[in-house]
Chains A and B, each alone.
Chain A
């Protein structure tokens, strides 16, 4: 039996506290080494890697078409966006553009997935702050989206719906009807959830002015997505470098100049409303046509060869999701590199959570919107 080691003396009366990897507020397996001065946090050091599977290596060992499922498992709450991100790169590398109808289908699915991811975040953020109830309201709405996914591809979360040059299955009337029904009733439900948060004085006092992220710091740390937009920079890949058919739909990019937790909260909720707008237009504009590129038939799929290199960036719910593919002319990618937005967004936590209270740090790490499948890959 070993002696219990005495806790390290840090001087200044500071205490070292290990938050995570099993902890209710760390959204998975984040581990934070925190130095506490009473209630105040003086230093934070995120320790990650507890969900590391090295998807990049696994992708190198697989055919181009098979790598897709590892992308589903990166941001597992917004899996469709990950698929779009990988396929944007892979299709460019392999030279198999998707047909027009597929692009619209992908936009619809990606936006539905974005709403689902933001709903998970909204619920979990409430839990971080000690609010139980909105979590269930969020998840009921999310379940409706997942039902649409189940209808289209048979799976709820790790959908594996898209494939190189197409999608697994065409939209039928029921799916279209379900999506239309969802976007019709969702805005009212979203307002209920939104009001449950913002009409609460304690919620406002916990978030207003907490976790200020200056735009220069955000850019230097590579922060993207809603976090960057909440710091006052209107950078969204869907507008900056439109992929799929985002240039043919009309939507706005919410930007807040307040830079704090509340700004990030509001930006994400506004994004959900914009996503509804996009889906509403796309479901009307979706053209007829084939739902896969004939060059990418299932039997030909494993013979696809890619050469050269591409980098595709897409806007995932967490931020700019980039995939860098290098091919050497073989049937397997030579190098796959993923720019995961959560990873970059997490790296700014030591700056944000300096000299704040424990409760504030939990709120701040809640607004970063971490999904550990993506941080650790």
Chain B
């Protein structure tokens, strides 16, 4: 059995399990075997000193929701793509907006923003006043630039 650091209930009455980052994949595999087959949501929360990753998993048969939380200090979290296909896009989105690096992800590219966008917008220390412009290069790929250029 995987060691659970803390178990509590949220304001909405959902079970919250807290695990260490190393035990995340084992716990998720365990939960998947118990019927939690639907990874509903992956959320990264920037706690300033650390990054918290929250997984909402759901069992369609038992109609239960479990919230799994893990924390990371160095932005790295193991990827769940081997267990759930839906983790693929969610992790890409969290990588894009929150800067969490999911180790073992097959295709960790940015989801919404161009590949060379500076910074991760959902971080608390992201500088909103620094304007970046999106432009298109010769091959039709988008890129971000600080230079407003002719088109703007």
Chains A and B touch each other in the complex, with CB atoms below 8 Å apart: yes
- A312: Cβ under 8 A from any B Cβ: yes
Additional A-B contact list (4), CB under 8 Å, known A92-B11, A339-B40: A49-B112, A49-B113, A337-B41, A337-B43
What are 30 residue pairs bridging A and B, where the CB atoms are less than 8 Å apart in the complex? A2-B138, A5-B138, A18-B140, A48-B111, A54-B122, A56-B97, A56-B122, A57-B122, A57-B126, A92-B12, A219-B37, A220-B84, A221-B85, A222-B38, A222-B90, A233-B60, A308-B11, A310-B10, A311-B10, A311-B56, A322-B41, A326-B45, A335-B45, A335-B46, A335-B122, A337-B41, A337-B54, A339-B56, A343-B89, A344-B86
B88 sits at the interface (CB 8 A)? yes
A111 interfacial by beta-carbon distance below 8 Å: no
Residue-wise interface mask of B (30-69) relative to A, using a CB-CB cutoff of 8 A (1 in contact, 0 not): 0000000111110101100000001010001001010100
A304 to chain B, nearest CB (A): 14
Tell me the complex Cα distance, A326–B138, Å.
42
Number of interface residues of B (CB under 8 A): 36
Contact partner of A347 (CB less than 8 A), chosen from B10, B89, B139, is B89
**Least Cβ–Cβ distance between A323 and chain B, in angstroms:** 10
Binding site for B on A (CB under 8 A): 2, 5, 18, 48-49, 52, 54, 56-57, 60, 92-93, 217, 219-222, 233, 235, 240-241, 308-313, 320, 322, 324, 326, 334-335, 337, 339, 343-344, 347, 376
Q: Is the CB of A220 within 8 A of B86?
A: yes
B76 part of interface (Cβ distance < 8 Å): no
Q: Enumerate B55-108 residues with CB–CB distance to A below 8 Å.
A: 56, 60, 63, 65, 67, 84-86, 88-90, 93, 97
Q: How far is the CA of A240 from the CA of B73 in the complex (A)?
A: 37
**Chain B interface, DSSP helix/strand/loop, else mixed:** loop
Pick the residue among A240, A326, A344 that contacts B89 (CB under 8 A): A344
Most buried by A among B45, B63, B86, B140: B86
A311 engages B122 (CB within 8 Å): no
Complex CA distance for A93 and B41, rounded to whole angstroms: 19
Distance between B142 CB and nearest chain A CB, rounded to angstroms? 8
Bound CA span A60–B14, Å: 23
Check B12 against A221 for contact (C-beta < 8 Å). Answer: no
CA distance A2 to B138 in the complex (A): 9
The dominant DSSP class at the A interface is mixed
Which chain B positions have C-beta within 8 A of A220?
A: 37, 84-86
Which residue of chain B is the closest to A54 with respect to CB atoms? B121
A54-B122, A309-B11 known; A376 vs B45 contact (CB < 8 Å):
no
- CB of A289, distance to nearest CB on chain B (Å): 25
Contact between chains at A322 and B139 (CB < 8 Å): no
Contacts of A221 in B (CB 8 A): 85-86
Assess whether B11 is in contact with A324, with CB atoms less than 8 Å apart: no
Known A52-B112, A339-B40; contact A219-B60, beta-carbon cutoff 8 A:
yes
Are A219's CB and B38's CB within 8 A? yes
* CB–CB B40/A320 < 8 A: yes
Considering only CB atoms, which chain A residue lies closest to B92 in the complex?
A: A347
B122: which A residues are within 8 A, CB to CB?
Answer: 54, 56-57, 60, 335
> Which residue of A has the minimal Cβ distance to B139?
A5
Please tell me if the beta carbons of A52 and B10 are within 8 angstroms of each other in the complex.
no
**Residues in chain B near residue A337, CB distance under 8 A:** 41, 43, 54
Q: Tell me, in angstroms, the Cα distance from A217 to B16 when the chains sit together.
A: 27
**Do the beta carbons of B43 and A347 come within 8 Å of each other?**
no
Q: Which residue of A lies closest to B141 (CB)?
A: A47
Q: Which of A52, A60, A324 contacts B43 (CB 8 A)?
A: A324
Measured CB to CB, the closest approach of chain B to A231, in angstroms, equals 11
Given A93-B11, A240-B63, answer yes or no on A222-B140 (Cβ-Cβ < 8 Å): no
A93, B38: Cα distance in complex, Å: 25
A residues in contact with B11, CB < 8 Å: 92-93, 308-310
